[in-house]
Amino acid sequence: GAGVSQSPRYKVAKRGQDVALRCDPISGHVSLFWYQQALGQGPEFLTYFQNEAQLDKSGLPSDRFFAERPEGSVSTLKIQRTQQEDSAVYLCASSLHRGPRETQYFGPGTRLLVL
């Protein structure tokens, strides 16, 4: 079946621009996560949704980062006034249920480069 998909796969932005990254989770998956992966490092948690509810946004690095999942399926991560330090791969993951020991399936990521 179809896995997690993300778009765009690559995004180049000028410093100060706003960007929007899209995640399509596996159909029927309740939980959705966003992670940020800097070059050569492990993914770091940004935010978590259970259906349409954003239950944890403790990992968002600043108020320039905003995520939503209005209908409990597709999610969008928005970064306003991008900075060079925002350059990273943004990974989305989904899991079927809401339990803490559920397998998370990752998308291919969006590689963001801020010039």
Partner 1 sequence: GENVEQHPSTLSVQEGDSAVIKCTYSDSASNYFPWYKQELGKRPQLIIDIRSNVGEKKDQRIAVTLNKTAKHFSLHITETQPEDSAVYFCAATPNNAGNMLTFGGGTRLMVKP
Q: Which residues bind partner 1 (CB under 8 A)?
A: 3-4, 31, 33, 35, 40-45, 48, 55-56, 59, 91, 95, 98-109
Quote the tokens at residue 51: 């259906």
Residue closer to partner 1 by CB (options 18, 52) is: 52
- When the beta carbons of 8 and 16 are compared against partner 1, the nearer one is 8
Count other Cβ atoms within 10 Å, centred on residue 49. Answer: 23
CB-wise, 25 or 43, nearer to partner 1? Answer: 43
Smallest CA-to-CA distance from 6 within 108, 76, 112, 86 is with: 108
Q: Cβ of residue 48: shortest distance to partner 1, in angstroms?
A: 6
Say how many Å lie between the first and final Cα of the chain, rounded: 37
